[in-house]
Amino acid sequence: MGPRIPKEAGGARKRVVIGTVHGDLHDIGKNLVAMQLTMAGFEVRDLGIDVPAMRFIEEAESFKADIIAMSSLLMATMMNMAEVVNLLKELGLRDKYKVLVGGGPINPIMFGRFFG
């Protein structure tokens, strides 16, 4: 199967780095999202599970990503998503990337607490 949405004429496909945050070994949801992004025409670099915060940023930089996508199934590891966002801010890179977060503990209350 290949992408169903072709890239724009003369335009590059958007690039995404995706992974499950440090401390979390769950990957079914991440794998489903990575597959859907690929089918939608994105170039996806899957970093796997238990990904340290700085690795998301290093891979995004080397891959020239547009989006950093993170997954966490566990409430205890959700704070590691915020660590990535905080590092992006510290490095002056926050405005360079769109950041997507997802997983079991993500809801409006928890989102506001960790990313608000």
| CATH code (residue 54) | 3.40.50.280
Residue 2 covered by a domain: no
Residue 5 covered by a domain: no
Q: Domain residues for 30?
A: 15-115
- Confidence (pLDDT) at 7: 54
Consecutive H or E run containing 61: helix 53-63
Residue 40 covered by a domain: yes
Consecutive H or E run containing 33: helix 28-39
CB atoms closer than 10 angstroms to residue 102:
17
- pLDDT greater than 70 at residue 37: yes
Assess contact for 75 and 103: CB atoms under 8 A: no
Residue 86 covered by a domain: yes
Residue 43 covered by a domain: yes
The number of folded domains in the chain is 1
Residue 57 covered by a domain: yes
- Confidence (pLDDT) at 105: 82
Q: CA–CA separation, 40 vs 18, rounded Å?
A: 15
Residue 1 covered by a domain: no
Consecutive H or E run containing 69: strand 67-71
